[in-house]
Amino acid sequence: MGPKAFINLCERLRTTGIVKEAIRSTVEEQVAQFLHIIGHNVKNRSVAFFFHRSGSTVSKHFHNVLDGILTLESEFLIQPSGNEVHPYVFNNNRFYAYFKDYLGAIDGTHFDVKFTYILAGWEGTTSDSRILKNALDRDDPLVIPQGECVYFDVQDFIN
């Protein structure tokens, strides 16, 4: 992330009112801690040592920044509406009948690779099925749009 994008993100988070200046910690430091944790997959203890803060302070700041980013979700993440059919499908009689209402697949496969689902809280690499199960069992579960469910391998149709 470049300096301008970082400053812009910090300003946007300030406007939420969730991420605030602390006595010894600026919004920029809190966002830097957050980005360091998610960018390098490091533990709270490592960040606390690096930034000379207590583990509870780092944890509090991490969750404040995360909550701030989640409030800005509608500005940063725009899901496909399903009203538009991808031109590759629309202009091809071979695909249109089967994929006209197609949004994406659980594993992220999409004709223009624009399927997005973010679930915070999983460290490292975890299988799609474990994340999906957790997403469906949460208090605020993942809602899958109604429609036809089609399982296929895109390579079967492209080749």
| Digit-coded pLDDT (tens) for 13-25 | 999 889 999 888 9
- Indicate the pTM of the whole model: 0.54
Q: Assess if residue 82 is contained within a domain.
A: no
Same domain, 98 and 151: yes
- How far is the C-alpha of 136 from the C-alpha of 140, rounded, in Å? 8
- How far is the C-alpha of 74 from the C-alpha of 97, rounded, in Å? 32
| 108: pLDDT strictly greater than 50 | no
Q: How confident is the model at residue 74 (pLDDT cuts 50, 70, 90)?
A: confident
CB half-sphere exposure, 32, CA atoms < 13 A? 12
- Rounded mean pLDDT of 49-63? 90
- How far is the C-alpha of 159 from the C-alpha of 154, rounded, in Å? 9
User: Per-residue pLDDT tens for 42-55?
Assistant: 888 888 898 889 88
Give the end of a domain, one of 19, 54, 76. 76
Same domain, 113 and 151: yes
Same domain, 92 and 150: yes
- How many domains does one find in the chain? 2
Percent of the chain with pLDDT over 70: 62
Range of the domain at 25: 3-76
pLDDT (0 to 100) of residue 62: 92
- How far is the C-alpha of 10 from the C-alpha of 73, rounded, in Å? 15
Give the end of a domain, one of 55, 76, 97. 76
Same domain, 11 and 61: yes
**Which has the closest alpha carbon to 83: 145, 158, 150, 151?**
145
Same domain, 68 and 95: no
